[in-house]
Homo-oligomer: A and B are copies of this chain.
Amino acid sequence: MHILIIGAAGMLGRKITAAILAEPTIGGRTVTALSLVDLMAPQAPDWPAGRVSAKAADLGGSAAPAELIEDRPDVIIHLAAVVSADAELHFDKGYRVNVDGTRALLEAVRHAGDAYHPRLVFASSLAVFGPPFPNRIPDDFAPAPRTSYGTQKVIAELLINDYSRKGMIDGVSLRLPTISIRPGKPNAAASGFFSGIIREPLIGQPAALPVPDTTRHWHASPRSAAGFFLHAAGMDTASLGHRRALNMPGLSATVAEQIEALRAVAGQSAIDLIRPAPDPLVADIVGGWGGDYEASRARALGFTTEGSFEDIIRVHIEDELGGALPAPAAH
C-alpha cells in the first residue's frame, strides 16, 4: 500500500509519518511506500521496511498535482493549507492554495485514467462553523464560516463530496479540533495559549492566559489527530453516504478544567507559572469558536480520542518529554 502525504513537513504531517513508520498497517493492509511532499522537501526518514520518497511541490502550482499522483498512491492524505490568520490576511493566496490547489488535485485524480479512484483524507477544520452556537454543537449543524479559511475549507469539502458522489475519488473530510498540546515554541496563533498554559509550565516556564478561565474549548492531542487520519485512510466509506465531512471527536474543557488537570499532573508549582494577562482581542476571536461538539457520527465510525484533559497532558509528556517531567530546577 502506498501513502502520499501532502503537507508532510508540518506538525501533523510529521506525526502521521511517525505513526505509519511505527505501525505500517492501515485497514489491514501493509504500507510499503510513503511519499512525503511539502513546499520544501520534507526530511525522508530512514525506513528499512519500505520505500520513502520526499519532494518539494506547491499544490497551488500548475503541474504539481498530476506529478504527485504519477505513482498512483492508494491513499492521499491532504494536509496542505494556508492557515487561518494567513488566509485572512492574504485573500488570493488562501483561495489559490486552499480552494484551487484542492480542486487541481481532484482534477488530476479525475483525469489520471486507469480507473484510479484513491482514498483521499482531507484536513478540514471546525472553523467551518460560526456563531451563534448551541451549547453542544450537533453533527448536522450548518457550516457558516466567519473567516476566509473556514469558507475555503467548506468549499473543499463540497468539492470532495461531489467528486466522491460521481465516483471520481473516495474522499473523507475530517473537521479537526484544536490540537492540544501543540509541541514546540509558543506561536502567534490566537489559539496558541490553550497549549501554552500547559506546555510552558510543564517545563518550568511562565505562560500568559489572555482569556477568562470560564472559556470552553474543544481539544484533541496530536497523537489522536494522527490517529484520525490513519483511521480514515482505512475505514469503510460506504456508510458515509453523501455526507463525507465528519466532525472529529475531542475533549471539551474550560480553561479552569485545563488548569485543574495540570495541577493533578504537575502540582501547584506548575499552576503558579500561569499569569493572567487579559487580551480582549484574543478573547473576542476565541469567543467566536465552538467549545463542545457531539461528534457522535465520527465516534460511531470508530474515531477515538482522549477522555480527559489529564490524558491529553499525559500524551504530551509521553510523546514530547520522554515520558517524565523534567526535574524542578533548584532555587
Chain A: residues with CB nearer than 8 A to chain B?
91, 130, 140-146, 148, 151, 154-155, 158-159, 161-162, 165-166, 242-243
Contacts and interface: CB of A to CB of B under 8 A. Distances in A.
Given A130-B242, A242-B130, A162 B148 contact: yes
A243 B144 contact: yes
Contact of A140 (B142, B162, B166): B142
A143 B143 CA distance: 8
A148 to B, nearest CB: 6
Given A130-B242, A142-B143, A143-B142, A159 B166 contact: no
Given A145-B158, A151-B158, 18 more contacts: A91-B166, A130-B242, A140-B141, A141-B142, A142-B143, A143-B143, A144-B242, A144-B243, A145-B161, A145-B162, A146-B242, A148-B166, A151-B159, A151-B161, A155-B155, A155-B158, A155-B159, A158-B158
A196 to B, nearest CB: 29
Contacts of A91: 166
A155 to B, nearest CB: 5
A112 to B, nearest CB: 15
Nearest to A130: B242
Which of A91, A151, A155, A162 neighbours the largest number of chain B CB atoms within 10 Å of its CB? A162
Q: In the complex this chain forms, how many copies of it are found? A: 2
Given A158-B154, A242-B130, A142 B142 contact: yes
Contacts of A144: 161, 242-243
A158 B91 CA distance: 14
5 contacts: A130-B242, A140-B142, A141-B142, A143-B143, A148-B162
A144 B173 CA distance: 14
A242 B154 CA distance: 15
A97 to B, nearest CB: 15
A140 B134 CA distance: 12
Nearest to A156: B155
Nearest to A94: B162
A161 B143 CA distance: 12
A232 to B, nearest CB: 19
Contacts of A166: 91, 148
A166 B87 CA distance: 12
Contacts of A146: 165, 242
B145 A151 contact: no
Contacts of A162: 145, 148, 151
A144 B162 CA distance: 10
A296 to B, nearest CB: 15
